[in-house]
Structure 1
Amino acid sequence: MHDIRAIRDDPATFDAALARRGVAPQAAALLSLDDARRAAIAAAQDAQTRRNDLSKQIGQAKAQKDEARAQALMAEVAALKDLLPQLEAGEADAAERLNTTLAALPNLPAADVPAGEDESGNVVVHQRGTPPAFAFPAREHDAIGPAIGLDFETGVAIAGARFTLVRGPAARLQRALGQFMLDTLTRDHGFEEVAPPLLVKDEAVFGTGQLPKFAEDLFRTTDGRWLIPTAEVSLTNIVREAILPAGELPLRFAALTPCFRSEAGAAGRDTRGYIRQHQFDKVEMVSIVAEEASEAEHERMTHCAESILDALELPYRRMLLCAGDMGFTARRTYDLEVWLPGQDTYREISSCSTCGDFQARRMNARYRAEGEKAPRFVHTLNGSGLAVGRTLVAVLENYQQADGSVAVPAVLQPYLGGLDRLEAKR
């Protein structure tokens, strides 16, 4: 959510920043709505002030035994009593129209975010690791996976398209990956492990920016709750409606959860295999920090995700997303893309974003800096550490063997009882 005062102070800069995201100028319309809201507030306040003043005058008139004047004043008070609810309703309506318009606008990109309309404008920050060289034609994960337990046909038969049954060695590998990621973040990087709700209320999904604009991307239950598209929703909302002492910051949370997405806008994309599913596991990182710490925290969080790819010895690159390719709530986003030899390309495996105070304003999440009376909005960050299913895909493709088996990365072997290879079923 944007600060209308900042828009009021510099509408041209606001519109210029929106233009970088491909959004038409909005400042004039917002300021018109703001003027209507402020006029409605002033009208209600003036009416209440007049009513209070008249009440005093009534007392004076009665003390002076001026009944005619007292009756006239009382009639005016009665009229104001009837008018005030209408004025207050008008004030609430004007505020709602302004807030609804503000809530539909994306965050403004940071100054160092490159220009661009889509992924073609993204910039490689660095590249790590060497893609493996095979003495045989590299296969894609959907050709490797069925022999070790990725059962695409049964998943579809049970639940429909974009669902997969994972069993046997593949299920063990997936569990090991999630546990290793969570252990790394909590043990080595200071994140607090959280087991959050998977069903959340409207306010929670609004707070992190999925509502109202992206409702079609979510699954909703019959009682009006939402299945989380990522644990970012639950973890970030831990601080909603709170005023935290500055000394409690930073807060860093990590969770391994199922995630649920309708993929409403993904028709025809990644229809084969395990890349784009309606249900998938992901380890999520969320940081809640003071304003001055958010830039450094973004680098730190991205490094935490990279450390997992380094430990798994998977080749990857870090991308700085352009303004037109960022998510709705982000000021700046780094994507980590892992090398998939079967596809002969890099694919996203993590996205780490700093949101500034954009989500905090929607959640009314604040902190009180030492020596300051007025609280400030916290800054929020989120990132994947990592998407478990996509990491499984990356392991299958990068560690595939000529005989159809899959070598187990060294760091995962303790999680699999020392197993160093997943044998393919014959």
Structure 2
Amino acid sequence: MLELERIQPWMLLRDSRCNTLLRILRVAPPLAGGIVVDGHDQLGNHAEIALSRSDETYLQAVGHAPRLRRDPAAVLGCLLGGAAGDALGAPVEFLRWPEIERQFGARGGIVDFVPAYGRLGAITDDTQMMLFTAEGLLRAWVCGVSHGVCHPPSIIHHALLRWLLSQGEPAATAVGRDGWLFGERRLWSRRAPGNTCLSALRTSRRLGEPAGNASKGCGGVMRVAPCAFFPEAFDKAAESARLTHGHPTGYLAAGLFADILARLWSDENASLLDAIRASLAEHGGRPGMEETRRLVERVLAVHAEGVKPTPQGIEQLGGGWVAEEALAIGLWCALSAGSLEEGLIRAVNHSGDSDSTGLIAGHFLGLLHGPEAIPARWRDGLELRDVIERIALDICLVPGSYRADGSEASGAIGERYPGW
């Protein structure tokens, strides 16, 4: 028996009368004698259900269940897992492995949150930009439904310019300051933002215009995970990364990253290895994908030999400062991990861009294993957890709920994510 008052977002609900499962996403204000809930059923369909006191006897919260088709909790796990990897790697981002080992070596490197940017569990620019990318995708969805036409890269670009303003940097074009995310002042904090992202956004004069540089830094790939939950994930991610990184490796690696995530999201039976192989089969032959394909295939080869990532082994792939290296390191650590915690610890303990590689591994492992796989000590101490949960919830709700029909529900979505 489950009392209606105890039902809350992200809960997995079982109705014993028909043995069906429902992932709760939204609970409407109580009505006389009952509530209305929004959620996704076990087939991945949106459902709106009215529950009354007479239903309580047959309802129970399920702690562990088989993976559901397109389970919204996987979206939450993906975003929180990435942020946890970002936060774990933040304190050692600019340290080489011998220095990490000297400071934390008694326990095999850094294995828990330690203070960075004045607090435990601090996220970096990686998670900040991931959140603004998600905002751009949601606003693009609202725009497309409202107007029938939309250019998502332009709206994502606009969102990234709002992030630029939050870093105290000027923009060369007018930037709208509406929507709820820009008003979240906890995001207005500089967390070692990448110079390429800053300079490309600072000088861009037309929304949607690709960057004019030849950079393949990891600042494009590290922010695109939310693209996995929208149609045409590869193209959306590549176009988004190309707004700041003009080298084909820089933006095509981002496309491959999002495409692998999208395959895991769309097929609950797919393994990470299956998703990587399928993504390479479809996209690995694209012109400009050569560097990324070569490094990812190298990871697949060492994984097939049973080789586990070590700081020295990771260094053979590179430092993760460029896109293909960051993706390869994150993939290797995720492939070899027995748990999310193990994978993230491996992904941040090396002489390189520890927060970005931790974030990439965390996105994969969080999507595969869900938010409950994140150790409670990390989940509870993670900066901006409530903001990340809100974005994850909206990624699951907005595409199925927004109708531009003048309804109160659609109006509220339009206020949070103005379609321009």
Give the number of the structure whose alpha-carbon radius of gyration is greater: 1
Which has a greater percent of strand? 1
Same fold (TM > 0.5): no
TM-score, structure 1 normalization: 0.24
Which one has more relative contact order, counting CA pairs under 8 Å at least 6 apart?
Answer: 2
TM-score, structure 2 normalization: 0.24
